[in-house]
C-alpha cells in the first residue's frame, strides 16, 4: 500500500486516489501544524494494497518520534457537479482542518480573473481603481463546523471565530462571536466518511446533528439546526463573493450585513467582511501594509492605512500559502463600497501592491429583529 504524506494546503492530489478509498491518518507535528498521511494504492508507483503493508508507512522516517497515527476516515470522490449535503465530513483543501457541512449557500461569485464576454461586461464603479467589473456567477459555499481539535493548528493562518453578530441594543459596539464556524467554497471540500458516530468535536455538533445509519451521509440535521438557520438567516447568508489576483496573490472578499444600531440618536450600519489571501506562486512574500478606501452613500470617503491586518503580518509561502481573517466596518448610511490594496514584501526587500477587489456594502431592505440563538 503506497502512501502520500501531505500538509494542509496540499491535499488537492487526493482526487487521484479516490478509486482506492484511501485512509486518512494524522499526527501533530508542532504547536501550529497537523500532518495527514493518506494510505492508498498509488497511481505514481503502481503498487496495490496487496503488494505492500500499511506498517511500511508508519516508520520513524515518516512519523515523528513518539507520535501515534490516528485513523480519521476514508476519502470519497470529490463532487464535480451538484452540492454536498448536511452532515458531509470533509478536510479543508487549503487549511487542512476536519469539518462537517451544516448547510449550503448559493452565492454570486464576481471573479475578476475571468475575462467576461462582451455582453457580460459592466462599466467600472466609482473608485474602482481600474479593476474590471464582471457579472456574478452562481457558486456554492457551505456553512461548516470546524473540529476544535484542529483549531490550535490553524489559528496562525485562519481565524476560528470569524462569524460574528451584533450583540444587543444596549451597546451598539458589542459583538458576539461563534467559535468554530466557517464558510467554505465547494472546491475546498475534500469529502470523507467515518464510522465514528461523533467524528467532529464541537460544542454544537450534537445539538445540531444526529447519527442515522440509514442515511448517506449518516449525520442529519436536528430541528435545532433548522430553527437556528431560519432565525439567523439574514446574518449568516452570504450573497456576494469577490475575487481578484495580482502578481500571483489572490484576494477573496465576502461581505456580510450585520444590522443597524442607534448611536447618539443616529443610525449606524454594520458589516463584517471575511478576506482570504492566497499565494498561487512559488515566491515567499509577507504582508506589510493595508490601504483601504471606504465610500459611504452619505457622501464621505475615508482612507485607512496601517501595518498588517488584525495585528499580524502573515508570510505566504508554497508550504503555507493562505491566510484568512475577518474584520468589521460601520457607515452612517445604508450602503457604500470599499476597495484598496495590500502591500507585500518579497525576500529581496522589494515591495508590490495587490488589489483588493471593490465590493458593495448593502444593507438588508427589511428591518429585521436582532439575531437569535446567543445562548446554547
pLDDT for position 185: 96
Name residues of the chain where pLDDT drops below 50: 1-19, 31-32, 41-63, 120-129, 131, 366-376
User: What would the pLDDT profile of 49-95 be if each residue is shown by its tens digit?
Assistant: 333 332 222 333 344 555 566 778 889 999 998 999 999 999 999 99
Q: What is the pLDDT of residues 114-171, one digit of tens each?
A: 765 555 444 444 444 454 557 889 999 999 999 999 998 898 899 887 788 786 555 5
Q: Could you tell me if 232 and 373 are in contact, meaning their C-beta atoms sit under 8 angstroms apart?
A: yes
pLDDT for residue 173? 58
pLDDT for 141 equals 96
pLDDT of residue 233: 84
User: Contact at 8 Å (CB) between 346 and 285?
Assistant: yes
Amino acid at each position: 500500500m503506497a502512501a502520500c504524506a501531505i500538509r494542509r494546503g496540499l491535499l488537492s492530489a487526493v482526487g487521484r486516489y479516490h478509486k482506492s478509498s484511501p485512509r486518512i491518518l494524522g499526527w501533530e507535528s508542532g504547536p501550529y501544524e497537523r500532518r495527514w498521511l493518506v494510505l492508498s494504492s498509488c497511481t505514481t508507483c503502481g503498487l496495490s494494497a496487496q503488494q505492500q503493508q500499511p506498517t511500511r508507512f508508519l516508520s520513524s522516517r515518516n512519523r515523528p518520534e513518539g507520535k501515534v497515527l490516528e485513523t480519521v476516515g476514508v476519502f470519497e470522490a470529490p463532487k464535480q457537479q451538484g452540492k454536498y449535503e448536511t452532515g458531509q465530513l470533509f478536510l479543508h483543501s487549503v487549511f487542512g482542518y476536519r469539518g462537517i457541512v451544516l448547510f449550503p449557500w448559493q452565492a454570486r461569485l464576481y471573479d475578476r480573473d475571468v475575462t467576461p464576454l462582451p455582453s457580460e461586461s459592466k462599466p467600472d464603479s466609482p473608485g474602482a481603481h481600474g479593476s474590471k467589473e464582471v457579472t456574478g456567477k452562481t457558486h456554492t459555499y457551505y456553512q461548516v463546523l470546524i473540529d476544535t481539535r484542529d483549531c490550535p493548528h490553524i489559528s496562525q493562518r485562519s481565524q476560528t471565530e470569524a462569524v460574528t453578530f451584533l450583540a444587543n441594543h444596549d451597546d451598539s459596539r458589542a459583538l458576539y462571536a461563534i467559535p468554530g464556524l466557517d464558510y467554505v467554497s465547494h472546491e475546498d471540500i475534500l469529502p470523507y466518511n467515518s464510522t465514528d458516530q461523533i467524528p467532529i468535536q464541537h460544542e454544537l455538533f450534537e445539538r445540531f446533528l444526529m447519527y442515522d445509519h440509514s442515511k448517506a451521509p449518516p449525520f442529519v440535521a436536528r430541528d435545532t439546526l433548522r430553527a437556528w438557520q431560519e432565525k439567523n438567516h439574514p446574518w449568516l447568508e452570504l450573497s456576494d463573493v469577490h475575487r481578484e489576483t495580482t502578481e500571483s496573490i489572490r484576494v477573496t472578499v465576502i461581505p456580510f450585513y450585520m444590522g443597524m444600531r442607534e448611536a447618539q440618536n443616529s443610525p449606524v450600519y454594520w458589516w463584517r467582511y471575511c478576506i482570504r489571501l492566497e499565494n498561487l506562486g512559488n515566491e515567499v512574500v509577507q504582508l506589510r501594509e493595508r490601504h483601504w478606501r471606504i465610500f459611504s452613500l452619505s457622501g464621505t470617503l475615508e482612507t485607512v492605512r496601517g501595518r498588517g491586518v488584525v495585528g499580524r503580518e502573515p508570510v505566504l509561502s508554497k508550504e503555507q500559502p493562505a491566510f484568512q481573517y475577518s474584520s468589521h466596518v460601520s457607515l452612517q448610511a445604508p450602503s457604500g463600497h470599499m476597495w484598496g490594496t495590500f502591500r507585500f514584501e518579497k525576500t529581496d526587500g522589494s515591495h508590490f501592491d495587490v488589489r483588493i477587489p471593490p465590493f458593495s456594502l448593502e444593507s438588508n431592505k427589511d428591518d429585521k429583529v436582532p439575531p437569535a440563538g446567543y445562548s446554547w
